[in-house]
Structure 1
Amino acid sequence: MGVPAVVPVWLLWYIAVNGPLADLGWTRREPTENDGMLLWLVIAVPVVTAFALLWWLANDFVRRRNTAAARVYWPACTLVTLVPTFALMILG
């Protein structure tokens, strides 16, 4: 689920950079982004929700068949899911 996670992570980052982080002065808004954030939320909410649901269902199924403790399993799954996104950020 790491490779498909690139899309929802990018959507969340784009919204954060052009929304609250830009309002705080930590980033600059995209100069051509003048449609407002509602359009991005209409796109991002279904994509992120569908990914999170699929990710949780897949990992819950594997977790039941695994002997690892839940306090180790879930953080490890989260980190492994984010590895392709971080690799693309570093290499890109």
Structure 2
Amino acid sequence: MKNAQPWKSFVPVAVNLLLGIPAIVPVFLIRYVLSNGPLAELGLTSQNPNEDDGMLLWLVIVVPVVGGFGGIWALVNIWLRRRLFTVPLPYPYWLVCMTATLAPFFVGVGIG
């Protein structure tokens, strides 16, 4: 078996689990904006009664935070994939990385 180093499959998962800890902030911001904006307008959630500043202020905060984290996340994963794997992967790399990144947020929601 060519490239039979099983630890290489766990490195992206471990790195994305570590990236998932600071990812709690952008994921929370996205959830907050969606629940107070479009989803509240559709009647799927109730808007925070203290949220009367409008959504532009939140978008000024959310877009740079999410864009910065998304850029760092993508660059790290592209570098890891090029560095560790030379053959096609037996699993969907990006889906595993996204799941590992979102896992700390969902664990925190489950605990809280």
Q: Provide the TM-score with structure 1 as the length reference.
A: 0.95
Structure 1: runs of 5+ lacking an equivalent = none
Q: How many Å apart are 1:65 and its aligned residue? A: 2.0
Which residue in the other structure is 1:85 paired with?
105
In 1, the alpha carbon distance for the partners of 2:34 and 2:91 equals 28
Specify whether residues 54 and 23 from structure 1 end up closer, same or farther in structure 2 by C-alpha distance, changes over 3 A only. same
Instruction: Give me the CA root mean square deviation.
Output: 1.4
Aligned residues: 92
For residues 78 and 91 of structure 2, what CA distance do their matches in structure 1 show? 13
Q: Distance in 1 between the 2:46 and 2:34 partners?
A: 11
Task: Select 2:39's aligned residue among 17, 21, 24.
Answer: 21
Where do 5+ consecutive residues of structure 2 fail to align? 1-18
Deviation at 1:66, TM superposition (A): 2.7
Aligned to 1:56: 74
- The worse-fitting range, judged by mean Cα deviation, of 57-66 and 37-46 is 57-66
Shift of 1:69: 2.3
Cα distance in 1 for residues equivalent to 2:43 and 2:33: 14
Task: Extract structure 1 runs of 4+ deviating beyond 3 A.
Answer: none
Give, as a single letter, the amino acid of the residue that structure 2 aligns with 1:26: L
C-alpha separation in 2, matches of 1:66 and 1:19: 41
> Structure 1 pair 35/70, CA: closer, same or farther in 2 (3 Å)?
farther
> Kindly tell me: are residues 23 and 5 of structure 1, through their superposed partners in 2, closer, same or farther at Cα, counting changes over 3 Å?
same
Equivalent in the alignment of 1:3: 21
